[in-house]
């Protein structure tokens, strides 16, 4: 690929800033984050005006309503973004921690110490809050970040990145700790993925399946992320009905457009007569479309589409849910492990043995007992914010927050020892 001078300049600036940031005092970093939070409040009108441009453009392009909801900002959401930053500020410095230490028979002391990853490239879609969350988390952990948001949120992302850089400059820190690719040309993304290994230590994709596939195919450096959120709720024969109704309703309908929203409901055949109709009627009341197997159809008064194989593999991100009947916890586990995306899966049951079997055997990065799948969120874990959910079996796994954005080095301390 032809040399991209624009991207190379960004990469060089990120590396230079990384060297300074890794040695920056935690108090100074926290002051910059506080300043950023203040700017979000002070310039909220500018942020909302920029967001209106993005919303208007999205509507004219007839982008899906679920995507527009992800894109939308208001005063309440800005306050939530500020709350996330304030939570990140409260965290202790994750760097320079002695993770483990031991002494060898030859007198060598070995320490495992937490350090920054370095330069992180983040490619994401729709949600403007990702700009502030990711920038704040990377900055707190001593990592510089190169941001490439989706074109649909271009103006929102640009103003948020600009305000973070303004906060850095205000505190006499290198504003290139946070850089935003303010060009919609996709060739810059391709170059970032394929030709910047010498500048970037980690790529984090955050968005739909097509984006993640592209990143996995083209990236020449390490990646953390997830394809999609094919999350399940399994209602066991020993589930409390009132709890099952409440949890299923929240897992699906609290926010249909997030990756932690339930897309498939599994119901034990032994509790169909008591549990199926009450659960589904509550979903229908909320205008959720049911796509179920032939047995489920008997419990749905409205017209219902019979589920096909593809429905068990579909992330709807809208008020639609696939419903399947299963013969007990083992069949539920098998279905989840076959069709799920290793994201978040929940069991509703009073039976501890069934719960233990489910939690131990589903290949999920987050396995839940008697609670909503929508708790799969860094804020709900007490992480303050997250750069995303990692479904990889290697480190990190689950919500990626402050602790997960560090790596480590080994330090050996001796007194002149030489190896025989």
Is the residue at 264 inside a domain? yes
Q: What is residue 278's three-state secondary structure?
A: helix
Look at residue 349 and tell me if it is in a domain: yes
The DSSP call for residue 175 is G
In a domain, 318, yes or no: yes
Q: Which of 6-15, 252-261, 346-355 has the lowest mean pLDDT?
A: 252-261
Are residues 283 and 211 part of one domain?
Answer: no
* 254 and 184 belong to one structural domain: no
* Number of DSSP helices (H) and strands (E) in the chain, helices first: 14, 17
pTM, full prediction: 0.87
Q: What is the span of the domain harbouring residue 282?
A: 231-375
Reported as a pLDDT band with limits 50, 70 and 90, residue 380 is confident
- Do 21 and 146 belong together in one domain? yes
Q: What is the pLDDT of residue 356?
A: 98
Higher pLDDT, 25 or 392: 25
- Bridge partners for 121 per DSSP: 146, 203
- Residue 380 covered by a domain: no
Q: Is 245 a domain residue?
A: yes
Q: How confident is the model at residue 225 (pLDDT cuts 50, 70, 90)?
A: confident
Q: Is 235 within a domain? A: yes
Question: Is the pLDDT at 213 greater than 90, yes or no?
Answer: no
Q: What percent of the chain has pLDDT over 90?
A: 81
Domain identity same for 321 and 250? yes
What is the number of domains present in the chain? 2
CATH number of the structural domain spanning residue 362? 3.40.309.10
Task: Indicate whether 157 and 17 sit together in one domain.
Answer: yes
Q: Are residues 326 and 284 in the same domain?
A: yes
Residue 413 in this model has a pLDDT that exceeds 80? yes
Mark whether 138 and 279 lie in a shared domain: no
Please give the pLDDT value at position 241: 98
Residue 394 lies in a domain: no
pLDDT at 339 over 70: yes
Choose among 175, 246, 230, 186: nearest CA to 211.
186
Give the domain CATH number at 178.
Answer: 3.40.605.10
Residue 190 sits in the same domain as residue 245: no
Q: Regarding beta strands 389-390 and 398-399, do their DSSP bridges make them parallel or antiparallel, or are they unpaired?
A: antiparallel
For residue 409 the two structure tokens come to 């080095």
> Would you say residue 14 lies in a domain?
yes
Question: Average of pLDDT values for 185-209?
Answer: 91
Same structural domain, 173 and 256: no
Handedness of CA 360, 364, 366, 372 (dihedral sign): negative
Same domain, 255 and 305: yes
DSSP category for residue 302: S
Is residue 404 located within the same domain as residue 285? no
- Nearest-5° angle of CA 384, CA 390, CA 395? 95
What is the model's pLDDT at position 1? 65
The reply to whether 221 and 235 lie within a common domain is: no
DSSP structure string for 127-164: -THHHHHHHHHHHHTT-EEEEE--GGGHHHHHHHHHHH
SS3 415: coil
Q: Tell me the sheet residues that pair with 103.
A: 109
């Amino acid at each position: 690929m032809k040399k991209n001078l624009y991207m190379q300049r960004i990469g060089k600036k990120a590396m230079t800033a990384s060297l300074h940031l890794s040695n920056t005092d935690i108090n100074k970093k926290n002051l910059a984050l506080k300043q950023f939070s203040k700017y979000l409040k002070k310039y909220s009108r500018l942020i909302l005006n920029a967001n209106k441009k993005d919303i208007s453009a999205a509507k004219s392009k007839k982008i899906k309503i679920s995507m527009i909801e992800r894109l939308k900002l208001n005063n309440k959401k800005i306050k939530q973004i500020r709350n996330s930053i304030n939570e990140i500020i409260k965290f202790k410095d994750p760097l320079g921690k002695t993770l483990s230490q031991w002494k060898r028979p030859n007198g060598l002391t070995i320490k495992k110490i937490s350090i920054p990853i370095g330069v992180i490239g983040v490619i994401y879609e729709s949600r403007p809050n990702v700009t502030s969350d990711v920038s704040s988390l990377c900055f707190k952990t001593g990592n510089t970040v190169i941001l490439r948001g989706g074109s649909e949120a271009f103006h929102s992302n640009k103003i948020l990145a600009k305000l973070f850089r303004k906060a850095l400059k205000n505190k006499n820190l290198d504003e290139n700790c946070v850089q935003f690719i303010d060009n919609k040309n996709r060739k810059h993304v391709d170059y970032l993925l394929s030709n910047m290994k010498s500048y970037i230590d980690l790529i984090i994709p955050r968005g739909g399946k097509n984006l993640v596939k592209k990143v996995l195919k083209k990236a020449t450096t390490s990646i953390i992320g997830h394809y999609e959120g094919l999350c399940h709720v399994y209602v066991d024969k020993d589930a409390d009905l009132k709890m099952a109704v409440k949890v299923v309703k929240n897992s699906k309908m609290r926010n249909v457009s997030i990756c932690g929203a339930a897309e498939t409901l599994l119901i034990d055949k032994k509790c169909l007569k008591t549990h199926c109709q009450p659960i589904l009627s509550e979903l229908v009341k909320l205008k959720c479309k049911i796509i179920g197997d032939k047995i489920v159809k008997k419990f749905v008064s409205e017209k219902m589409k019979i589920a096909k194989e593809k429905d068990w593999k579909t992330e709807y991100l809208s008020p639609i849910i696939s419903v399947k009947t299963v013969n007990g916890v083992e069949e539920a586990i098998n279905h989840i492990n076959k069709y799920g995306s290793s994201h978040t899966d929940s069991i509703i049951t009073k039976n501890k043995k069934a719960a233990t079997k489910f939690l131990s055997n589903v290949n999920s990065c987050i396995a839940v007992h008697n609670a909503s799948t929508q708790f799969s969120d860094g804020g709900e874990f007490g992480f303050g914010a997250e750069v995303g959910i990692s479904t990889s079996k290697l480190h990190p796994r689950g919500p990626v927050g402050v602790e997960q954005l560090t790596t480590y080095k080994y330090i050996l301390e001796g007194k002149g020892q030489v190896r025989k």
